[in-house]
Structure 1
């Protein structure tokens, strides 16, 4: 199934998509590609708010974009790997039977699957600025990300790998 179809299917039920992704076998290259695509899309979502900030404050845009690039493409993946390992250890304490790979895939896929709303959040923050509208979408995006992550993690921790 195409990745876009998997993203849409995740909105209906993250567990079924995670089962399908896990059935393809543990391939770290695929997990890393999913993570990097998600981080790259989050970086792209930062462009409108950073452009707004540069315009409003009279700053140069390029250093702001450089900082966001460093944060989302270099540092965030390391944090996501650590967070996935921590989530697997917590799940193991709660009776999980999965693997570190399954926990990584669940977190990385949740980020990529939530990226359409993350991009929408960036657009709203860039064009509207701070306010209740963008904050509502940010909250909805966070809740959706958590639903995807926890639903995928639950499925990943069910099946031994």
Structure 2
């Protein structure tokens, strides 16, 4: 199934999608592609906000984009790998069965599947700016991300897979 179809299916039932992805076998290259795709979309989502900031403050847009590129594309994946390891250790302490691949899949897939709302957040930040609309979309993204991630962890460590 295409990644876009899996993303839309995740909004209907995240555990089913994680179970299907787990049944495809342990492929670390697939996880890295999920993570880097999500980071690339996160960088794209930041562009409208950074353009607004550059326009309002008079800063150079290229410098802002370069800093965001460094942070999101190069540093964030390392931090997310560390966070996935911590969540794996916590799941094991809580009685979960499985390896680190399962924890990485749950986290990276939740991040990728929630990027459509992250893109909306970037548009709201770029066109409207700070305020209740941006806070609402940010909270919506956080809620959806946590829903996908916790459902994925539940399926990966305690589910049928």
Counterpart Cα distance in 2 of 1:144 and 1:39: 17
Instruction: State the SS of the aligned residue for 1:59.
Output: coil
Instruction: State the SS of the aligned residue for 1:46.
Output: helix
Counterpart Cα distance in 1 of 2:56 and 2:41: 24
Q: Report what 1:42 is aligned to.
A: 42
RMSD of aligned residue pairs (Cα, Å): 1.2
Counterpart Cα distance in 1 of 2:75 and 2:11: 28
Q: Report what 1:14 is aligned to.
A: 14
Q: Report what 2:117 is aligned to.
A: 117
Out of 150-159 and 42-51, give the one that drifted further. Answer: 150-159
Distance 1:160 1:32, change over 3 A: farther
TM-score by length of 1: 0.98
Q: Which consecutive segments of 4 or more residues in structure 1 shift more than 4 A?
A: none
Q: Report what 2:106 is aligned to.
A: 106
Q: Structure 1 unaligned runs (5+)?
A: none
Q: Report what 1:89 is aligned to.
A: 89
Counterpart Cα distance in 2 of 1:125 and 1:30: 31
Q: Structure 2 unaligned runs (5+)?
A: none
Q: Report what 1:78 is aligned to.
A: 78
Counterpart Cα distance in 1 of 2:29 and 2:159: 21
Q: CA deviation at 1:13?
A: 1.2
Distance 1:160 1:14, change over 3 A: closer
Kept in 2, the 8 Å contact 1:98–1:160? The answer is no
Counterpart Cα distance in 2 of 1:160 and 1:81: 25
Q: CA deviation at 1:158?
A: 2.4
Report the number of matched residues: 161
